[in-house]
Structure 1
Amino acid sequence: MSRKDVLVVDDDASIREVIQMTLEVVGGWTVRLAANGMEAVEKVRERRPDAILLDLMMPGMDGPSTLARLRGGSDQNVPVILLSAKIQQRRDDQQLTGLGVAGVIGKPFDPISLPDRISGILGWAS
């Protein structure tokens, strides 16, 4: 299996760090980081990732705005998983997947199981 390249977009540096460490150590993946939506768009232009983990609520360009920008360019088919601390009910999860994302992972999440959750959502063999 080839090494997966995942872009993590979150305005919280500690969350980016935890996700990066977990995906690299437990998942064996390559992880790139972006602190905001504009940085994410630039990183995707530099090198297309296999998947994007995108925080829903960020200052400036939020998750949906970043997603719209990515979907409007040549990166329409990169699978995106939203990260959100605001998911309260299953209805919220369904509404968010209506944005054209592969899935939604609520915060807080279990870091150790994160690679398996991502693989399950994206249909990657683990």
Structure 2
Amino acid sequence: MEPNLKLDLKLNEYLQKGETVLNFEEFIEVLETVKSLGWSKFENDKNESTISDLDMRGIFKMVDVDKSGTISRTELKMACKYLGKRYGINDAGTWQGLMRAADSDGDGKLSYAEFKQIIQMAENSIRVKNLKK
């Protein structure tokens, strides 16, 4: 059975019961279903992003507040809280450093390709941190 379908079926069980809020035990049960489907945060042995291209584009559009098609330093600073929560890197200076490293044309803005690179660098940083544990 397709993983998304299995999770949808599990969630539909609760909806059919008329439940729109999960108690703690039900929440744990849903998380166990997710885990049994092989979904986990940042557990990708390959050197590739764990985020789908569609999700990556969604994050890019969300962070690109002025809809210019690029992410400025200011927009990146504003996005640090979200990105910090997602990647566990809460220091704005770290994100600024990643931005400088990914900004291949040096214009101070991130194109989508450069943004994708910054996210991959953040994921690699998490992988290295997890390996040291």
Query: What's the TM-score, normalizing by structure 1?
Result: 0.29
Relative to its length, the structure with more helix (as a share) is 2
Relative to its length, the structure with more strand (as a share) is 1
Instruction: State the structure with bigger RCO (CA 8 A, min sep 6), 1 or 2.
Output: 1
Larger Rg: 2
